[in-house]
Amino acid sequence: AKDMGNDLEKILLTEEQLQNKLDEMARDIDEVYGSEDILVIGVLRGAVMVVADLVRKIHAPVTMDWMAVSSYGSGTKSSGVVRILKDLDTDVMERDVLIIEDIIDSGLTLSWLKSNLESRGARSVRIATMLRKPEAAKVEIDVDFLGFDIPNEFVVGYGLDYAEDYRHLPFIGTLAPHVYGG
Ligand code: PRP
Ligand code: MN
Ligand code: MG
């Protein structure tokens, strides 16, 4: 629903906080890569906003590609087995890959994706994520560029959805429990 009504409980991160953090992350990314070519891989669909904003703040030469993945199994996101719904159009062999995500929850998606890209012969695979939920982690992941650690709450906006809604919001908020039946 575009008219949010009282669906949001509170704003967790304002547009300004997000953009300021992306400025810092872009500075760190530039420091690490210098003038090396970066192959940015965005994970559809949540990462669209972060990718779009972050690549415009990076000075290193960037090319972009996209993957869509989905967890296999019993409907929940805990199997750790991931299915590729849309694969890359780019050969990652010998490329310096920067995966960009909106959020690391259990970590299962990214841990699978990182080793998948390494096994395709990428020269380096690094990870940038806007959010991370330390309390929800099921696997350890080395994050190279982190926006914010957040509590284990249901967050939406800035790419993050609940049933495909709220992705378009320029800020990140927590969803009121009545929306998801909590
Ligand atoms: C969400 C989020 C991450 C992933 C994190 O994507 O955007 O990609 O889950 O979860 P994990 O760390 O537990 O693996 P989702 O599968 O909801 O698809 P979407 O990006 O299209 O919303
Ligand atoms: Mn996602
Ligand atoms: Mg989602």
Domain residue ranges in the chain = 16-70+82-153
> Is 42 a pocket residue for ligand 1 (Cβ < 6 Å)?
no
- For the domain bounded by 16-70+82-153, which CATH number is listed? 3.40.50.2020
- pLDDT (tens digit, 9 = 90+) per residue, 82-107? 899 999 999 999 999 999 999 999 99
Q: Which atom of ligand 1 is nearest to the CA of 104?
A: 12
> Is 133 a pocket residue for ligand 1 (Cβ < 6 Å)?
no
Asked if pLDDT for residue 71 goes beyond 70, the answer is: yes
Average pLDDT over the chain, rounded to an integer: 93
ipTM value > 0.90: yes
AA identity, residue 154: F
Concatenating the DSSP letter of every residue in 39-100 gives EEEEEETTTHHHHHHHHTT--S-EEEEEEEEEE-SSSSS-S--EEEEE--SS--TT-EEEEE
Contact partners, residue 95, CB within 8 Å, separation at least 6: 37, 39, 122, 123
- pLDDT (tens digit, 9 = 90+) per residue, 3-37? 566 799 999 999 999 999 999 999 999 999 999 99
Question: Which ligand has the nearest atom to the CA of 71?
Answer: 1
